[in-house]
Amino acid sequence: MAGGRGSSAARLALLLVVVVAAVAGGAVAGGKVVHVEEAHRRSMLANGLGSAPPMGWNSWNHFQCDGNGEVVIRETADALVSTGLAALGYRYVNIDDCWAEPQRDAKGVDYLKYDNCNNGDLKPLERYPEMSRALMKVGRPIYFSLCEWGDMHPATWGATYGNSWRTTNDIADTWDSMIATADQNEVWSEYARPGGWNDPDMLEVGNGGMTNSEYVVHFSLWAISKAPLIIGCDVRHMSRETYAILANKEVIAVNQDPLGVQGKKVRMEGSSEIWAAPLSEYRTAVLLLNRHAKDEATIAAHWDDIGLPAGTPVEARDLWLHETLDATFTDKMSFDVAPHSCRMLVLKPRIQIQ
């Protein structure tokens, strides 16, 4: 697909083909950065990629087998550029299943997603190491996405062979599927770090199965979870609301933060949850999530839950309102959150933490 008449492949830094076959991070505790257990930092794939979660687009969620023609792919690449999404980091254009033929001319790819379909009963630890070794011999770095649907707990071994690994089965464009996928992915949070990421599947934002508020929750959860931000809708025909979600620079910045620590649930009370993730420069990302379908909830985040020293005054930036709140919080913060909605904030200490 590369080259040709000033194509979008040339204007995008990278045009990728996804093959579907059969800074060390740390955490903030007591105001100090502490390293995640070293046992989970061994044997990283040395291809120099994945310092932050990848961002891009994939054909499957919206088009499945109907979106792999040249027109759709070129128009999608054009749309990523013309809308400014490519400039925000969405630089991979991934062709998913149903494109393969027995023979293809060599084109050069930058991202390989190795799926679990038609695997010939070969075990993941047979297939993925072999492909990883082959990619390392190509002579150019190729992002390697392991996609065995989390069956053999790839978070525990995937970093040796790939840059990300699916922790779940396929997501569907529903609230229940999305929230369950986030839950399942969160279990493996300690294994994510720069160079290797947990992958809860591609984004459904904009595909029509959820409300805009639910898509905000979806994007917020993927961002704080340091998940790959791979768009799954038709970017040629996005609504303004869909674009506003996918193009939120402040939420993207949480996902791409160089500290690279995956967020996790730090408190659950009924349908109310608090997620938190340490960021660089002693900042903290906080997500207040109301999972209830009908009732508003008042959700309070306490400093001892999110890893801040007691009494620390912080400035709070609301990432969806795009405003710094006119208050200083010192031990907790509390907000009313609508059903199936969230508040996402970044907290910055007003004093130097030692």
In angstroms, the Cα distances linking 36 to 32, 46, 147, 182, 261 are 12, 20, 25, 21, 9
Angle at which helices 175-186 and 212-224 pack, to 10 degrees? 10
CA angle (70, 230, 76) in 5-degree steps:
25
Whole-number Å distance between alpha carbons of 36 and 39: 9
pLDDT band at 24 (very low <50, low <70, confident <90, very high): very low
Full domain range(s) for residue 60:
8-255
Of 16-30, 194-208, 211-225, the one with minimum mean pLDDT is: 16-30
Which position has the higher pLDDT, 9 or 344? 344
In a domain, 244, yes or no: yes
Whole-number Å distance between alpha carbons of 175 and 184: 14
Q: Which of 115, 199, 234, 257 is catalytic?
A: 115
Of 7-21, 197-211, 246-260, 327-341, the one with minimum mean pLDDT is: 7-21
CATH number, position 319: 2.60.40.1180
Of 216-220, 223-227, 239-243, 347-351, the one with minimum mean pLDDT is: 347-351
Task: Give the up-direction half-sphere exposure of residue 171: CA atoms within 13 A in the CB hemisphere.
Answer: 31
Whole-number Å distance between alpha carbons of 88 and 90: 6
Told to judge if 170 belongs to the known catalytic residues of this protein, a careful annotator would answer: yes
Unique residue bearing structure tokens 């967020």: 263
Q: What global pTM score does this model have? A: 0.88
| 269 and 246 in a common domain | no
Whole-number Å distance between alpha carbons of 67 and 143: 22
Told to judge if 151 belongs to the known catalytic residues of this protein, a careful annotator would answer: no
Per DSSP (E only), the strands in the chain are 26-29, 32-35, 55-58, 92-94, 111-114, 143-146, 164-166, 197-199, 229-231, 264-269, 272-278, 284-290, 297-302, 314-318, 323-329, 332-337, 341-349
In a domain, 231, yes or no: yes
Query: In terms of DSSP bridges, do strands 55-58 and 92-94 run parallel, antiparallel, or are they unpaired?
Result: parallel
Asked if residue 25 lies in contact with residue 194, where contact means CB atoms within 8 angstroms, the answer is: yes
In a domain, 354, yes or no: no
Q: Using the 3D structure, point to which of 255, 279, 314 is the last residue of a domain.
A: 255
At residue 239, does pLDDT exceed 90?
Answer: yes
At residue 19, does pLDDT exceed 50?
Answer: no
In angstroms, the Cα distances linking 314 to 154, 259, 275, 311, 328 are 38, 20, 17, 9, 6
CA angle (139, 19, 72) in 5-degree steps:
115
At residue 191, does pLDDT exceed 90?
Answer: yes
In a domain, 1, yes or no: no
pLDDT of residue 104: 67
Whole-number Å distance between alpha carbons of 250 and 322: 8
Q: Which of 66, 170, 304, 331 is catalytic?
A: 170
Q: Using the 3D structure, point to which of 201, 224, 255 is the last residue of a domain.
A: 255
| 208 and 138 in a common domain | yes
3-state secondary structure of 25: coil
Buried b (16+ CB within 10 A) or exposed e, 145-178: bbbbbbeeebbebbbebbbbbbbbeebbbebebb
pLDDT of residue 354: 59
Q: Name 131's Cβ contacts closer than 8 Å, sequence gap at least 6.
A: 112, 114, 144, 161
Q: Using the 3D structure, point to which of 255, 280, 307 is the last residue of a domain.
A: 255
Q: What is the pLDDT of residues 45-70, one digit of tens each?
A: 889 999 999 999 999 999 998 877 88
At residue 39, does pLDDT exceed 50?
Answer: no
- What average pLDDT is seen over the chain? 88
Total domains present in the chain: 2
- Within 187-239, where are the H helices? 212-224
pLDDT of residue 204: 99
Query: In terms of DSSP bridges, do strands 264-269 and 272-278 run parallel, antiparallel, or are they unpaired?
Result: antiparallel
Q: What is the pLDDT of residues 97-142, one digit of tens each?
A: 887 776 766 778 899 999 988 888 889 999 999 999 999 999 899 9
* Alpha-carbon Rg for the chain in angstroms: 20
As a whole number, mean pLDDT of residues 233-248 equals 98
pLDDT of residue 110: 94
In a domain, 55, yes or no: yes
CATH number, position 218: 3.20.20.70
| 299 and 207 in a common domain | no
In a domain, 318, yes or no: yes
At residue 5, does pLDDT exceed 90?
Answer: no
At residue 213, does pLDDT exceed 50?
Answer: yes
Asked if residue 155 lies in contact with residue 198, where contact means CB atoms within 8 angstroms, the answer is: yes
Whole-number Å distance between alpha carbons of 129 and 317: 43
At residue 8, does pLDDT exceed 90?
Answer: no
